[in-house]
Amino acid sequence: MTTDLVIEAEGLVKHYGETKALQGVDLVVPRGTVLGVLGPNGAGKTTTVRILSTLLDPDAGTARINGLDVVRDAEKVRHMIGLTGQYASVDEDLTGRQNLVLFGTLLELGRAGARARAAELLEWFDLADAADRPAKTYSGGMRRRLDLAASLVGRPDVIFLDEPTTGLDPAKREAMWDVVRSLVTDGSTVLLTTQYLEEADALADEITVVDHGRVIAHDTPDGLKRIVGGQTLEVRPADPSRLPETAQILSQVSTGAAADEIRKGMLAVPVAGDAALTETVARLGAAGIAVTELSLHLPSLDEVFFSLTGHTADDGSATGPDATSKEVAA
């Protein structure tokens, strides 16, 4: 194979009555890489995943997985893909093990093969202790892990993860990120949808930004960050009377703009990278300024959208996770 593209989509269109879910989405994912599809609720992320995973036929456009058309060769495509939906797609009345054995049986692993594979996955995903409890008793994080395990039963080449960490707390999100990284090390190709630039940055080789059923940007995480302007450093001094002093220090580490009081007692400046954090800590320490909050984060989806389109993402819920990157308690 010359150009080893595992996922190729051209001009995907899908309308639901008046709602134009997709209005011509193109994307490509080379073998062994992760594509992050970033966008707010209703941007068309899930519709795209449903088309690529053969659940839905497009109204127009084509999509291929390993060169096979998702409509005409749907049956063959289903042998190659694993899908983890936005909502846990396992049977809640069955135990974790029964779920995985069921999918193994349906994937023709045979009775012994399905059992062995289930045991292996339960071990990998730290679910061995809960394996024989009904899935409805699982916590949110455990359900996500079981769901992801279920999509890996058939050792798929291509894995679709539709908002795998929505609703998970930061610690569990990080654990899920580790899983995704290990999948790629393992040779799989992953398409991941997310509302968080943070997440796309942590996992994806390339990011496609979608809005209103269209692709509005496609770049590497670094490229995208250059477009949207690096990171933001936020500091809250313990003593509000020292705000002006703190602001002055921050202006010195900033990439240009002066420190801005974004919330009461909270200052923010754009910075170039992680080095600014160490620098700030050192300077604040030297000046003897105690802080109660100090964090560095990537722009939220709103900020990304503002940079790319000049307007904010329509959906108010589509804001980034609050400072999950590097929180320092001072």
Partner 1 sequence: MTTTTLGPTTTDRTPRVPAAAAARRPFPLVRHSAALTKRSLIKTWRTPEALIDVTLQPIIFLAIFATIFGNAVAGSTEDYLQFLLPGILGQTIAMGAIAIGVNLNTDMEKGIFDRFKSLPIPRSAPLLGAVLGDVVRYVIVAVVTIATGYAMGFRIATSPLEAVAGCLLAVLFAVCLSWVSVWVGMVVRTSGAVQGVMFLLVMPLSFGSNVFVQTDDLPTWMQGFVDVNPLTHLVDSMRGLFLGLPVGDHVWWTLAWCVGLVAVFMPLALRAYRRKV
Token pair listed for 235: 């500091």
Helix 243-253 to helix 275-287 angle (10° resolution) is 140
129 binds partner 1 (CB under 8 A): no
The rounded distance, in Å, linking the Cα atoms of 220 and 232 is 19
Nearer to partner 1, 162 or 302 (CB): 162
Nearer to partner 1, 144 or 236 (CB): 144
The rounded distance, in Å, linking the Cα atoms of 232 and 137 is 40
100 binds partner 1 (CB under 8 A): no
Does residue 126 contact residue 143 with C-beta atoms inside 8 Å?
A: no
Binds partner 1 (CB under 8 A): choice among 10, 26, 69, 91: 91
Does residue 84 contact residue 151 with C-beta atoms inside 8 Å?
A: yes
In the window 50-79, what residues touch partner 1 (CB under 8 A)? 50, 53-56, 75-76, 78-79
Binds partner 1 (CB under 8 A): choice among 16, 60, 67, 92: 92
Question: Residue for token digits 């290990």?
Answer: 182
Residues contacting 36, CB < 8 A, separation 6+: 192, 193, 194, 199, 200, 203, 204, 206, 207, 208, 221
In the window 141-180, what residues touch partner 1 (CB under 8 A)? 141, 145, 147, 150-152, 154-156, 171-172, 174-175, 178-179
Q: What are phi and psi of 123, to 5 degrees?
A: -65, -50
- How many residues at the interface with partner 1, by CB under 8 A? 54
Binds partner 1 (CB under 8 A): choice among 41, 98, 307, 325: 98
Nearer to partner 1, 151 or 208 (CB): 151
Q: Which residues bind partner 1 (CB under 8 A)?
A: 50, 53-56, 75-76, 78-83, 85-94, 98, 102-103, 105-109, 124-126, 134, 141, 145, 147, 150-152, 154-156, 171-172, 174-175, 178-179, 182-183, 186-187
